[in-house]
Structure 1
Amino acid sequence: MPRTPSSPLLLAGLLAGAALAHAALPQQFEALVPRSLPGTPRRWTYASGAAELALAVGVAHPRTRRVAALAAAGFFVGVFPANVKMAVDARRRSPAYRAAAIGRLPLQVPLVLWARSVSRSAAPCRTPGR
């Protein structure tokens, strides 16, 4: 069975696009922030966008790709509660919004697997002088 390419630059682009969306439309993401977190939803929205941007840069660069892609997998797991909150809150929204919110939940699995694949296919970081 042929192996699917891990597409590190596509993953980096997805992360960068998400980061830009967090910066450009923060109000869209604030409602996803669990109220149990300290601080304001806007702060968490910007922090997650900054994390996505840092991960995008790390995944794009061959020297940091392995670690950054593994961190991206952890990030995708970490934001899953926000997607659950979105699905729960969608009960009061239109059927199309509900379908999109519920449809996002299983999409976290391929994102995590994709990031792990990018990490595994990355060249190991070589220390200068070795």
Structure 2
Amino acid sequence: MPETSTEPASQRSAYKMAAMLIATGVGHFAAPKPFDTIVPAELPGSARFYTLASGVAEIAVGGLLLVPRTRRLGAGAAVALFLAVFPANINLVRMWWNKPLPMKLGAMARLPFQVPMIVSALKIRRNAPV
């Protein structure tokens, strides 16, 4: 997609990340059970609490990314969020280790995917209006 003067690449990246986060956050409320199952049992409290709290966080961070004045804050919060949910992705690999190979590979593929999301959030932060 060519860059236009009305919508620079950094703005499009922010919108794409915001859409992904908001959609995923809504998913935590619309269908919480799959998210509940990957919350590490070692965490205190109920899995549903962490599912709903992370859903709120994803929607809030997505909202921050949409607004140019809060985009820098939102991008920093996105980095923190991606790091915070990483243990759930590790837990999914742990739980699915004895599942069929396609399921195991799907769970494992989530781990390195965090890196480009963090890099993208850092780029959005760097290019956000001050």
Structure 1-normalised TM-score?
A: 0.89
**Equivalent residue of 2:45, what SS?**
coil
Q: Structure 1: which amino acid aligns with 2:73? A: V
Aligned residue in 1 for 2:54: 48
**Equivalent residue of 2:15, what SS?**
helix
Percent identity, aligned pairs only? Answer: 37
CA distance in 1 between partners of 2:24 and 2:34 (Å): 12
Question: CA RMSD of the aligned region, Å?
Answer: 1.2
CA distance in 2 between partners of 1:73 and 1:113 (Å): 8
Q: Structure 2: which amino acid aligns with 1:39? A: G
Deviation beyond 2 Å, 4+ runs, structure 1: none
Q: Tell whether 2:16 aligns with 1:17.
A: no
Aligned residue in 1 for 2:106: 100
Deviation at residue 97 of structure 1 after TM alignment: 1.1
CA distance in 2 between partners of 1:20 and 1:94 (Å): 29
The CA deviation string for residues 80-130 of structure 1, in whole angstroms up to 9 with x for no partner, is 111000011111322211110001100000010111111111000xxxxxx
CA distance in 2 between partners of 1:80 and 1:5 (Å): 27
Structure 2-normalised TM-score?
A: 0.89
Provide structure 1 residue ranges, at least 5 long, that are not aligned to the other structure.
Answer: 125-130
May I ask how many residue pairs the two structures share in their alignment?
121
Out of 66, 75, 82, the residue aligned to residue 76 of structure 1 is: 82
Provide structure 2 residue ranges, at least 5 long, that are not aligned to the other structure.
Answer: 1-7
